[in-house]
């Protein structure tokens, strides 16, 4: 218990301290009024949250999570709890990764932007090469998710021709309803969507006379008193069928295949799927980035809870309110379904906002997550043909 608690606390301390170091390093690289502007923003602890009520979550509040019991509030067990002998090495590795992601110099920022431009043919390299970096700002984001793993059941009717011995031996007992049938052997791994299973319902088979042929097994070929037209195979026009069967008055019933009876039965259809609720809590500086971009980014998981019905996290005031807002958006569960398990997570996504400018224009882009993904929707689009013409003109002068 103590080892797990210490590991969870150390993980939170490491994440917050790394993000705090990020802000201190970047502020020092700015100059003049720009440096003062960013320094004022950085005085509110890095990793702070702004929600609709302007609630701020400081680094000290996140540290307060160490006083909670990990088993009670569901801190995710990880490799830090498996082997205490390598715990410090793992924590140092995490600290090193976060520092490398957040403590970026001007050359590293431009290299990331150049790599991103290489994947987009419509982006020219001149702005990234010649424009100056005027501002580097931290605007970290919290992402909250609530996954609800449900099982849906429905009874379906199936009809097939009744053949000899096609009906199972039945004890003629009561037909079970959808939720009385045991499907435990078919349940997939939790939160793995897409699996379906079908099973015949016991004591649900009923033999009925075929309504098309009235139990005769054959139907009159010209029962509608009109010559039936069929495709001759030699052309596309409708012609009278010349097959030997056309001279007969009767033909085999296509519904029961000549059996004269149909076997009606109930089949249980079961579907397992995950309903996902996602919510983002971002600062004003990151409001221009779509939520889906943050959901795809890799971050540091601060909280995890898994149970039949998750409760809001009992952490700092800001994180608790954010957790409550995620839980309050719990998806509607259909009457034909039941909840198997819920999983609630809160993650911190490192986000760096960079502003570049020349004499007349400016644009901003974002460095997201532990993978340092680039989001640069405002990057000036310059077609390669235009850039080549400008390069040739500059060399000829």
pLDDT of amino acid 359? 77
CA distances from 164 to 141, 261, 263 (A): 67, 11, 11
SS3 assignment, position 231: strand
pLDDT of amino acid 48? 39
- Reported as a single tens digit per residue, the pLDDT across 74-103 is 333 333 232 333 334 445 554 565 566 667
pLDDT of amino acid 320? 86
Looking at the predicted structure, is the pLDDT value of residue 64 above 80? Answer: no
The answer to whether 228 and 221 are in contact (CB under 8 A) is yes
pLDDT of amino acid 125? 60
Report pTM: 0.60
Contacts of 141 (CB under 8 A, 6+ apart): 280, 281, 282, 283, 286, 294, 348, 349, 351
- The gap from C-alpha 181 to its chain's centroid, in whole angstroms, comes to 31
The answer to whether 342 and 190 are in contact (CB under 8 A) is no
Q: What is the mean pLDDT of residues 199-217?
A: 85
Mean pLDDT, rounded, of the chain: 68
pLDDT of amino acid 105? 76
User: Where is average pLDDT lowest: 11-25, 99-113, 172-186, 261-275?
Assistant: 11-25
Q: Regarding predicted confidence, which is higher, 25 or 146? A: 146
Q: Regarding predicted confidence, which is higher, 67 or 192? A: 192
User: Where is average pLDDT lowest: 56-65, 71-80, 293-302, 317-326?
Assistant: 71-80
> Mean pLDDT: which of 54-63, 76-85, 373-382 is highest?
373-382
pLDDT of amino acid 89? 44
Looking at the predicted structure, is the pLDDT value of residue 354 above 90? Answer: no
- Sorted by where each begins, the domain ranges of the chain are 2-146+278-391, 152-270
pLDDT of amino acid 378? 65
């Amino acid at each position: 218990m103590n080892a797990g608690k210490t590991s969870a606390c150390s993980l939170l301390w490491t994440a917050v301290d790394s993000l705090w170091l990020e802000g201190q390093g970047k502020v020092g690289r700015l100059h003049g009024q720009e440096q003062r502007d960013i320094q004022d923003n950085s005085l509110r602890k890095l990793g702070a949250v702004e929600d609709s009520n302007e609630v701020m979550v400081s680094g000290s509040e996140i540290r307060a999570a160490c006083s909670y019991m990990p088993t009670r509030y569901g801190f995710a067990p990880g490799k830090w709890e498996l082997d205490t002998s390598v715990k410090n090495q793992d924590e140092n590795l995490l600290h090193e990764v976060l520092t490398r992601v957040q403590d970026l110099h001007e050359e590293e920022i431009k290299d990331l932007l150049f790599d991103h431009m290489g994947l987009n043919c419509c982006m020219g390299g001149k702005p990234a090469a010649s424009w100056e970096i005027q501002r580097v700002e931290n605007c970290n984001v919290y992402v909250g998710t609530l996954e609800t793993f449900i099982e849906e059941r429905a009874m379906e009717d199936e009809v097939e021709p009744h053949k000899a011995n096609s009906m199972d031996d039945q004890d003629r007992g009561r037909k079970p309803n959808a939720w009385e049938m045991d499907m435990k052997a078919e349940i997939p791994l939790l939160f793995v969507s897409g699996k379906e299973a079908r099973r015949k319902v016991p004591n649900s088979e009923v033999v009925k006379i075929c309504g098309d042929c009235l139990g005769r097994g054959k139907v009159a070929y010209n029962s509608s008193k009109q010559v039936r037209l069929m495709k001759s195979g030699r052309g596309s026009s409708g012609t009278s069928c010349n097959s030997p069967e056309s001279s007969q008055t009767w033909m085999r019933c296509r519904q029961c295949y000549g059996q004269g009876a149909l076997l009606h039965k109930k089949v249980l259809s079961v579907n397992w799927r995950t309903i996902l609720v996602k919510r983002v809590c971002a600062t004003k500086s990151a409001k221009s980035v779509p939520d889906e971009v943050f959901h795809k980014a890799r971050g540091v998981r601060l909280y995890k809870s898994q149970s039949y019905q998750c409760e809001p996290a009992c952490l700092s005031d800001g994180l608790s309110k954010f957790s409550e807002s995620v839980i309050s958006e719990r998806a509607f569960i259909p009457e034909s379904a039941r909840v198997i398990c819920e999983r609630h997570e809160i993650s911190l996504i490192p986000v760096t906002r960079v502003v570049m400018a020349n004499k007349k224009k400016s644009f901003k882009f974002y460095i997201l997550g532990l993978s340092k993904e680039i989001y640069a929707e405002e990057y000036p689009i310059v077609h390669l043909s235009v850039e080549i013409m400008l390069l040739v003109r500059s060399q000829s002068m």
